[in-house]
Amino acid sequence: MKKWISGAGLLLALTMWACNDEGLDAISTIDSSFETDFDGWEPGFAEYSTKTDTSSLARRVGRPRLPFGLDTSQYAFMIQSNNHSDDIFMYLKKKVTGFKPNETYSVVFDIDLATNAAAGSVGSGGSPASSVYVKAGASLREPATRLQGTEYTFTLDKGQQSQSGADGIVLGDLSNGTKDTTYVLVKRTNADKPFMIKANASGAIWFYVGTDSGFEGLTKLYYNRIRITAREENIQ
């Protein structure tokens, strides 16, 4: 059975069947395009110090239209920060319920985002394109920012910059695929390597997407669409 699921466990009425060679598979799809609201996604920032002047981080979030040069009739979840720590992680998170309790799912993220980071560009600490890594993951624990000593850390194991972790994987970098610093809509996906997660006893999973930056400068990007496909794997 294929079903559409949104945050807070709201199951939409549309139901249809999907088949493969082995029979019927249950597939759940979460699809956020931000045309009317933030669709339950919440922003966060991590991996910077209490010694940092937070005003210099230039943290901003919003739901504007896509930037000039793209389809400006469409909205997006905009997030930005100035990476003085050479390691800042800015992310969006969402809790989704309605999954089968304790069932294992393979998860594919398809992310459409607008980036102006030119391919091959260089900058302080690293490239604004190839040194900023797009990540996504899932967990039974809430993705959050926690103060440890003098550092604001991310509560899940997303891996360090170019590396994946137990709770997340690298989908690519922020290169716009051109030599120009103009915004281009790019797609990042893990379709070739699904992420495995088991829902909790209440049928809930936390999802997150974000960018892990090694570029010591301003990164401003627009999430135009986040589509998550979770397939039941029936692992005993």
pTM of the full predicted structure?
0.88
State whether the Cα torsion 135-140-144-150 is positive or negative: negative
Beta strand residue intervals within the chain, DSSP E: 2-5, 11-16, 19-20, 23-24, 27-32, 42-46, 48-49, 60-62, 77-82, 89-97, 104-115, 132-139, 145-148, 151-154, 168-173, 184-189, 195-198, 204-213, 218-232
What confidence tens digit (pLDDT) does each residue in 188-227 have? 999 999 999 999 999 999 999 999 988 878 999 999 999 9
* Over residues 50-63, mean pLDDT: 92
* Over residues 166-187, mean pLDDT: 97
Class of domain 33-228: mainly beta
If one counts every other C-beta atom within 10 angstroms of the C-beta of residue 2, the result is 17
What confidence tens digit (pLDDT) does each residue in 112-133 have? 999 999 998 887 767 899 999 9
